[in-house]
A and B are shown apart, each in its own frame.
Chain A
Amino acid sequence: MTENTTTEIVPTVSVTIDGVALQVPKGTLAIRAAEMIGVEIPRFCDHPLLEPVAACRACLIEVEGMPKPQPACAQVVGEGMTIRTQQSSEVAKDAQEGVMEFLLINHPLDCPVCDKGGECPLQNQAMSAGRGESRFEGEKRTFDKPINVSAQILLDRERCVSCARCTRFADQIAGDPMIELLERGAQQQVGTASDEPFDSYFSGNTVQICPVGALTSAAYRFRSRPFDLVSVPTTCEHCASGCSLRTDYRRGVVTRRLAWDSPEVNEEWNCDKGRFAFAYLAEGRITTPLVREDGELRPASWPEAIDVAARGLAAAGSRTGVLTGGRLTQEDAYGYAKFARAVLGTDSIDFRARATSPEETQFLRAAVAGAPIGVTYTALEQAPFVLLVGFEPEDESPIVFLRLRKARTRVVSVGAVATRGLDKMGGELLAALPGQEAAALRDLPADIRAALEQPGAVILAGERIAASAGAPSAVSTLAASTGAALAWVPRRAGERGALDAGALAGLLPGGRPLIDAQARAQVAAIWGIDTAALPGLPGLSGDDLLTSASRVGLSALLVAGVDPVDLPDPALALRAVDTAAFVVALDHHHSAVTERADVVLPVALVTEKSGTFLDWEGRPRPFGQVFKDALTMSDATVLGMIASAIGTSAGAWDVNGIRRELTALGPWQGARAVVPGVQPQAAAGAGFRLASWRELLDAGVLQEGEPFLAATARPSAAIVSAAAAARLGSPATVTVTGPAGSVTLPLEVGAVLDDVVFVPMHSSECSIYRDLGARIGTAVDVTAGGAA
């Protein structure tokens, strides 16, 4: 991907602001031009990422030749313009103070009980740009307070200054115009339609950009004062978008999280999951190591638990399987990659707690692991065409969604559902039955192929290509034959980092093939071990690892943060855990795995350690430790303790040491595995095909304990086409039956292919793997009404 970084000659105009002459790029707004010389003009409605609206009138300035003061936020600087702000113009100062006085007429003086107090632009600018005293002696307008514009977002209407930041955000950025300015005059207020709440995945941003305390979140309302909070820049752990966040805490408890500025990645936005889903941090922690004795887990000391774990794992050695889940930092994933190879001598390791395929494994080894940053958010914004395969950005990587929407790029999604998200991106659907994407890619219409041949065109492949036979091969082939850039967008935050750290069978850190002599030598040297001590052949991964464990009984399993319900065959996973002679679980919360483990070792949460997530671009998103006095240890640190108990040190296990090793190793420069060449497979069985993915807000364990957020999730439904619904007799509910069971869900008509039914993968009402025993593309029965 070549980025357009050549020096472009930007036309400029000359302007004089407060007597200072300067050149600004043509099209610059007066409010921005003034910022360039350090003059801050008061503003509420102005936001650099929203279209100008000049709604609040707080930024009035004097422009020579214009009869009245002009709003600086909407006034484009013209050649030779002379502007006077409040710094040099009594007219501007007077106008600004007048507007401020008007804005405050109906604004309550409830700053002492308002959540915004202390970080409030209105409070601040009333001080800096307003009169000390109000001349208003009438009765202020009041409203019932607050009203719920959604379960999560609350509105105190009397505080609103009608700046329309929230409504413009909802319309322009999120594409969810479910809030609007209603009524008029003094009654003007933000509100929703009477039967459609503001259930946008991005609704929390409106709270953050509200320049007064009108919008608050149910989660944070009345929880703390901003000046009592300690703020730490962090990275979101919920998906591979890689958002910069600001985590605010007080007395050892996270009180809120905000989107933080990262122009290259999330700009100034984030999604509601990233903002609100952090209650899990405080609840239900595993507090002490646990060791199984007489069939029961009992608390144990660290030395005892480490000792038991070390003996059990050493005994199993290369007959150990390692499952790391997709949520670890790159450093922790690297710890597992190293521990497996250098300490246990096993290569049976996988970071994917989801549907996988050997084809995907080969694709990741060949095309993704250790690859330098290729496609970026900026590249998406500049791309003339983006093809989505097995990927629903709004649910699976919301910031990718926002960026594609912003760019108004031509988007085509290969799939079975023309989703609301696709509609909001102005995208088109290229029909492919679930699991049959490869055939659609093989038979691509000529215009789409031509679009992919344009310079800068991008193919975005989601994690669900793994569930579609031939899709990883097809996207690789298509990228090669059209010249389009290919990027893999996993869903979980830790997947890309784990892949690059070598937490996948056959791969050493940096994308190094396990079987390459030079790669082995490089890694062995850094780890300070003999090359021969590394496993010689690629181990097991994906389903093979679990099947093998379950069938032949791998002697031991080392599991980090894996919930069996995320795996396509939860029963198989549990059987594997049950049959393994020895199971060590590193986790911060209990799961079906920790319940069955022989040793449970509690590890640090993201707030208790520093680390790095690689976002889908491959961009490192390092973050610092929020709670510096936390006594918990990261996964890698704990693994280091087990390693030394076993008697192998193998280099560093602390975060800084691991970062040094990763830097020293760097990405692999040698030959890579070849991309897979799996052919599309025809669908088997008759009936409805199951389309499914993880919706952004669902029954994920990291969303636990946040009921307001959960209440804004999309209601679970079985979605079919209008024709299919008519065939079923348009019942209110349908029962979807898979190989292992059935669920009854409300029927919804959507833009779904005929003979396809969409069911959320893991909502609170239905989990397709657990409840249906069905995978993406499985033929399922759909019948009217409840279960027979």
Chain B
Amino acid sequence: MTISDQTLERMRELASRYPQPRSALLPMLHLVQSVDGEVTTDGINACAEVLGISPAEVTGVSTFYTMYKRKPVGEHHIGVCVNTLCGLLGGDAVYDALSERLGVGHNEPTADGKFSLERIECQAACTHAPVMTVDWEFIDDVTPAAAVDVVDRLERGEQVLSTRGPAIRTFQATEHTLAFPDDGLAGEGTSVDDKMLAGLRYAKEHNMSAPAHGQEA
């Protein structure tokens, strides 16, 4: 796929939002993924041209961050956190169940291009461990059966809501929101719920605070 003039225009718009245009590279790469479904060579060259940097420099950034995909992903991209806490609380089992259900491994798309699966790192949602993400939207406190159910429903074309609210759209749709978080969709649902604030509440009630620098805890 090639980058259209319209996409180039939107890239320039992103670049103009920052004092250093180069700072716009991360949202621009999300924009590329929203258009091409992955970070394509055309997308890299377009980013380089808009920002006046080299394609190698763009490639360096796009390969450093795991959210940028250099291979096609599914219409829905599913991540399962397998870091320590999620993994121990069932994340590994969730991953295995999904892998079996979809017939694919880490960073592989299904043959029909509907899904892809990834072992992901900590999503800062340990309160709701284990978590999985569908197109980067959270499914909290997930079990192997619940995870497979999400896949089944998506396959049937049913609407699936993320645990904290937003409707699951597609990988490319979410990528567009990541490129333009001001599209009105980013704030959908609640990112923080009561359970996640329990610790903070407890600390406040008991006047707990972090030790000052250099002091013993």
Q: How large is the interface on B (under 10, 10 to 19, 20 to 34, 35 or more residues)?
A: 10 to 19
Does B63 contact A183, Cβ atoms closer than 8 Å? yes
Does A180 contact B57, Cβ atoms closer than 8 Å? yes
Q: Which of B54, B60, B64 contacts A196 (CB 8 A)?
A: B54
B143 to chain A: closest CB distance in Å? 30
**Which of A's residues lie within 8 Å of B, judged by CB?**
176-184, 191-196
Does A184 contact B55, Cβ atoms closer than 8 Å? no
- Chain B residues, CB < 8 A from A191: 56, 59
Does A178 contact B54, Cβ atoms closer than 8 Å? yes
Q: Which of A183, A184, A196 contacts B56 (CB 8 A)?
A: A196
Does B64 contact A193, Cβ atoms closer than 8 Å? no
**Which of B's residues lie within 8 Å of A, judged by CB?**
41, 44-45, 48, 53-60, 63-64
Question: How many Å lie between the Cα of A179 and that of B56 in the bound state?
Answer: 6
Chain B residue with the shortest CB-CB distance to A176: B54
Chain B residue with the shortest CB-CB distance to A178: B56
Does A194 contact B41, Cβ atoms closer than 8 Å? yes
Q: Which of B41, B45, B60 contacts A180 (CB 8 A)?
A: B60
Chain A residue with the shortest CB-CB distance to B65: A184
Does B54 contact A177, Cβ atoms closer than 8 Å? yes
Q: Which of B41, B44, B57, B63 contacts A177 (CB 8 A)?
A: B57
Interface SS, B side = helix
Known: A178-B54, A183-B64, A184-B63. 19 other contacts (CB 8 A): A177-B53, A177-B54, A177-B56, A177-B57, A178-B55, A180-B56, A180-B60, A182-B60, A182-B64, A184-B64, A191-B59, A192-B59, A193-B45, A193-B55, A194-B55, A195-B41, A195-B55, A196-B54, A196-B55
- Chain A residues, CB < 8 A from B44: 193-194
List 4 A-B pairs, minimum CB-CB distance, nearest first: A193-B55, A180-B60, A180-B56, A177-B54
- Chain A residues, CB < 8 A from B63: 182-184
B67 to chain A: closest CB distance in Å? 12
> What are 30 pairs between A and B in contact, CB < 8 Å?
A176-B54, A177-B53, A177-B54, A177-B56, A178-B54, A178-B55, A179-B56, A180-B56, A180-B57, A181-B60, A182-B59, A182-B60, A182-B64, A183-B63, A191-B59, A193-B41, A193-B44, A193-B54, A193-B56, A193-B58, A193-B59, A194-B41, A194-B44, A194-B55, A194-B59, A195-B41, A195-B45, A196-B54, A196-B55, A196-B56
Chain A residue with the shortest CB-CB distance to B53: A177
Chain B residue with the shortest CB-CB distance to A185: B64
Q: Which of A176, A180, A184 contacts B59 (CB 8 A)?
A: A180
- Chain B residues, CB < 8 A from A179: 56
Question: How many Å lie between the Cα of A449 and that of B64 in the bound state?
Answer: 48
- Chain A residues, CB < 8 A from B55: 178, 193-196
A405 to chain B: closest CB distance in Å? 16
Question: How many Å lie between the Cα of A196 and that of B60 in the bound state?
Answer: 13
B30 to chain A: closest CB distance in Å? 18
A490 to chain B: closest CB distance in Å? 32
Chain A residue with the shortest CB-CB distance to B60: A180
Question: How many Å lie between the Cα of A409 and that of B58 in the bound state?
Answer: 28
B208 to chain A: closest CB distance in Å? 26
Chain A residue with the shortest CB-CB distance to B41: A194
- Chain A residues, CB < 8 A from B57: 177, 180
Chain A residue with the shortest CB-CB distance to B64: A184
- Chain A residues, CB < 8 A from B45: 193, 195
Question: How many Å lie between the Cα of A182 and that of B39 in the bound state?
Answer: 14
Question: How many Å lie between the Cα of A176 and that of B45 in the bound state?
Answer: 15
B189 to chain A: closest CB distance in Å? 31
- Chain B residues, CB < 8 A from A184: 63-64
Question: How many Å lie between the Cα of A196 and that of B53 in the bound state?
Answer: 13
B176 to chain A: closest CB distance in Å? 24
Question: How many Å lie between the Cα of A291 and that of B59 in the bound state?
Answer: 61
- Chain A residues, CB < 8 A from B58: 193
- Chain B residues, CB < 8 A from A177: 53-54, 56-57
- Chain B residues, CB < 8 A from A180: 54, 56-57, 59-60
Question: How many Å lie between the Cα of A185 and that of B41 in the bound state?
Answer: 23
- Chain B residues, CB < 8 A from A176: 54
A427 to chain B: closest CB distance in Å? 15
- Chain B residues, CB < 8 A from A192: 56, 59
Question: How many Å lie between the Cα of A645 and that of B4 in the bound state?
Answer: 77
- Chain B residues, CB < 8 A from A195: 41, 45, 55
Chain A residue with the shortest CB-CB distance to B62: A182
Chain A residue with the shortest CB-CB distance to B54: A177
Chain B residue with the shortest CB-CB distance to A182: B63
Question: How many Å lie between the Cα of A194 and that of B43 in the bound state?
Answer: 12
- Chain A residues, CB < 8 A from B60: 180-182
Question: How many Å lie between the Cα of A195 and that of B57 in the bound state?
Answer: 13
Question: How many Å lie between the Cα of A179 and that of B64 in the bound state?
Answer: 14
- Chain B residues, CB < 8 A from A196: 54-56
Chain A residue with the shortest CB-CB distance to B55: A193
Question: How many Å lie between the Cα of A176 and that of B53 in the bound state?
Answer: 10
Chain B residue with the shortest CB-CB distance to A179: B56
- Chain B residues, CB < 8 A from A181: 60
Question: How many Å lie between the Cα of A170 and that of B132 in the bound state?
Answer: 41
Q: Which residue, of B45, B58, B64, has the highest number of chain A Cβ atoms within 10 A?
A: B64
A723 to chain B: closest CB distance in Å? 19
A732 to chain B: closest CB distance in Å? 17
A353 to chain B: closest CB distance in Å? 37
Question: How many Å lie between the Cα of A192 and that of B60 in the bound state?
Answer: 8
- Chain A residues, CB < 8 A from B41: 193-195
A186 to chain B: closest CB distance in Å? 13
B121 to chain A: closest CB distance in Å? 11
- Chain B residues, CB < 8 A from A193: 41, 44-45, 48, 54-56, 58-59
Question: How many Å lie between the Cα of A193 and that of B41 in the bound state?
Answer: 8
Question: How many Å lie between the Cα of A179 and that of B55 in the bound state?
Answer: 9
B43 to chain A: closest CB distance in Å? 11
Question: How many Å lie between the Cα of A679 and that of B138 in the bound state?
Answer: 77
Chain B residue with the shortest CB-CB distance to A195: B41
Question: How many Å lie between the Cα of A195 and that of B56 in the bound state?
Answer: 9
B164 to chain A: closest CB distance in Å? 29
Chain B residue with the shortest CB-CB distance to A197: B56
Q: Which residue, of B41, B45, B63, has the highest number of chain A Cβ atoms within 10 A?
A: B63
Question: How many Å lie between the Cα of A182 and that of B60 in the bound state?
Answer: 4
A143 to chain B: closest CB distance in Å? 14
Question: How many Å lie between the Cα of A183 and that of B70 in the bound state?
Answer: 11
- Chain A residues, CB < 8 A from B53: 177
Question: How many Å lie between the Cα of A196 and that of B56 in the bound state?
Answer: 8
Question: How many Å lie between the Cα of A191 and that of B60 in the bound state?
Answer: 8
Question: How many Å lie between the Cα of A182 and that of B41 in the bound state?
Answer: 15
Question: How many Å lie between the Cα of A306 and that of B48 in the bound state?
Answer: 63
Chain A residue with the shortest CB-CB distance to B48: A193
A425 to chain B: closest CB distance in Å? 15
A465 to chain B: closest CB distance in Å? 32
Q: Which residue, of B41, B53, B57, B58, has the highest number of chain A Cβ atoms within 10 A?
A: B57
Q: Which residue, of A180, A182, A183, A195, has the highest number of chain B Cβ atoms within 10 A?
A: A180
- Chain A residues, CB < 8 A from B54: 176-178, 180, 193, 196
Question: How many Å lie between the Cα of A178 and that of B64 in the bound state?
Answer: 16
Question: How many Å lie between the Cα of A181 and that of B62 in the bound state?
Answer: 11
A168 to chain B: closest CB distance in Å? 12
Question: How many Å lie between the Cα of A658 and that of B154 in the bound state?
Answer: 89
Question: How many Å lie between the Cα of A364 and that of B166 in the bound state?
Answer: 78
B123 to chain A: closest CB distance in Å? 18
Q: Which residue, of B45, B48, B60, B63, has the highest number of chain A Cβ atoms within 10 A?
A: B60
Question: How many Å lie between the Cα of A177 and that of B57 in the bound state?
Answer: 7
Question: How many Å lie between the Cα of A178 and that of B57 in the bound state?
Answer: 7
Chain A residue with the shortest CB-CB distance to B59: A193
- Chain A residues, CB < 8 A from B48: 193
Question: How many Å lie between the Cα of A192 and that of B59 in the bound state?
Answer: 8
A114 to chain B: closest CB distance in Å? 25
Question: How many Å lie between the Cα of A385 and that of B178 in the bound state?
Answer: 46
Q: Which residue, of B41, B48, B56, has the highest number of chain A Cβ atoms within 10 A?
A: B56
B1 to chain A: closest CB distance in Å? 15
B86 to chain A: closest CB distance in Å? 20
Chain A residue with the shortest CB-CB distance to B58: A193
Question: How many Å lie between the Cα of A180 and that of B25 in the bound state?
Answer: 16
Question: How many Å lie between the Cα of A191 and that of B53 in the bound state?
Answer: 16
